[in-house]
Amino acid sequence: MQPILKVRGDAKLDPVPLFIGGEWTPDDTAATSPVHNPSTGEVIAETPMCGSAQVDAAVKSAADAFPGWWETPPPERARVFFRFKALLEEHFDDLVRCNTREHGKTLTESRGDVRRGIEMVEFACGIPSLLMGESLENIARGIDCDTIRQPLGVCVGITPFNFPAMVPLWMYPVAIMCGNTFVLKPSEKVPLTAIKIAKLLDRAGLPKGVFNIVHGGRECVDALLMHPAVKAISFVGSTPIAKHIFETGTKHGKRVQSNGGAKNLVFLMPDADIENSVRGVIEGAYGCAGERCMAASTAVIVGEAEKKVLPALIEAARSIKVGRTDLDAQPHMGPVITRQHRDRVIQLIEIGAKEGAKITADGRGVKVDGAPNGFFLGATVLENVQSGMTVAKEEIFGPVLNVMRFADLDSAIEEANRSTYGNGASIFTRSGKAAREFKHRIQCGMVGINIGVPASMAWFPFNGWNQSFFGDLHMQGKEGVQFFTQQKVTTSRWFSFGEGDIWQRDAKT
């Protein structure tokens, strides 16, 4: 059944259907949440806010499909994902433009979003080799032992707005390739890219019910967290919600991996290469308008680096061109996701100023020609930020760079390690000793050396620590495969016919 186009005024809205049991169906009974083009403020779709009935239907579909998919040989599963990967490449440009239209990323950033998602599909295609178990013969005389990995059952993904392509693809290709079935709940702010990608997965030949999509907010999420047939939950979002997901999911017997927020730091040493370090900080802080959990939100200026690097950082921030991303001509940075989010970031900038930070690049008054209703905010720099300030502790999730100063590397690392978060930290230096000391002592899960954003690629875990992650097994890489499977250990011994038969022995006597 084809989804029905809704109409607002004179504009047709993109459909946001559910995908349950291999069928795309509208939900015209639910309340809706608007999807905007952030460059113009225009409403382009309405996301249905599903409840427990739709969740139950999707989970039941996935549960019914699980036995057949589990019995599908892993090489056959992989062939589906090889076809899926080819379709993603074929429709790459369309996915990029959809991503930009509903999120506001520049086209370059959307290409990165989609490309990193495709890399996860490439990784998933090779999962059969990671599903192989281990064996050891003669663990005792005539006794052998082996392990196998088996899927869990119905798994769930709950994803944020900031990477409409990549983050869902962190989850379900790995889960499904491991033999599980899946229900995805994409962000209600950006459902369109997830839907386009799911249609390609359907075209690749995935059996009905193996993959499903529902939409919604808190009611939908809680229904997924508490559903008795759901075995595992994968989440990315802010730390408060990540903690709620973890606590609620585990309370109801689910396996949970829950990624939260961060305050990532970039250390600039006196010997850092100015051009490369400034480029790394600027791209890390303002890429995707700062709306990413790996954003380089704080520049840590160490010693004499202040004289060399800080003026260049401020100049580079002031030169960033902000504009519409839904046109062929592209700016350096696009809008943030919603008007409400823009207003929250502005409020945090003003709180920072009241608490003593100095605004040396101010993006609050930025205007974009031809887009008076877009959700724009220019690149902002806050100097003299101290550890007790609100902007130093809260994740801003916008185009704001904090600047903190320290006399030496030791004091800077000590202060950084007091953070409640633990996603990433980077250092720019020519000193191998400083880099090694930093790598060894910094308390976070992803470290960059002369890298502005040390986000790991598909073959390695996305390795948040502390309040940036709740759970035991991270997304991506081998840990992702371990999360979506469980081990079974078999210990075996075989007798010759009649050997050890107590009834036969008794009969002879």
Q: Point out the residues that are catalytic.
A: 293
Can you say whether the dihedral through the CA atoms of 53, 55, 61, 66 is positive or negative? negative
Q: Tell me the longest C-alpha to C-alpha distance in the chain.
A: 102
β-bridge partners, 403: 299
Q: What is the DSSP string of 192-258?
A: HHHHHHHHHHHHTTPPTTSEEE---SHHHHHHHHH-TTEEEEEEES-HHHHHHHHHHHHHTT-EEEE
Beta bridge partners of 82: none
How far is 257 from 233, CA to CA, in rounded Å? 6
Whose structure tokens read 């939908």?
Answer: 220
Backbone φ and ψ of 308, nearest 5°: -90, -40
Angle, helices 107-125 vs 92-103, to 10°: value is 130
The values of phi and psi at residue 338, to 5°, are: -145, 165
Distance (Å, whole) CA 55 – CA 485:
23
**Which residues share a beta bridge with 257?**
234
**Whose CA is closest to 455, among 174, 152, 205, 119?**
119
Element (H, E) at 82: helix 74-90
State the DSSP H helix or E strand holding residue 413, giving kind and residue range, or none if neither.
helix 409-416
The residue with tokens 């960033």 is 320
| CA pair distance 103, 506, nearest whole angstrom | 78
Q: Which of 135, 124, 33 is nearest to 458 (CA)?
A: 124
Question: What is the total residue count of the chain?
Answer: 509
Q: Distance (Å, rounded) from C-alpha 83 to C-alpha 318?
A: 45
Question: CA-CA distance, 61 to 57, in Å (whole number)?
Answer: 6
In degrees and rounded to multiples of 5, residue 217 shows phi and psi of: -120, -135
Q: Which residue has the tokens 């790598």?
A: 439
Cα 369 versus chain centre, distance:
33
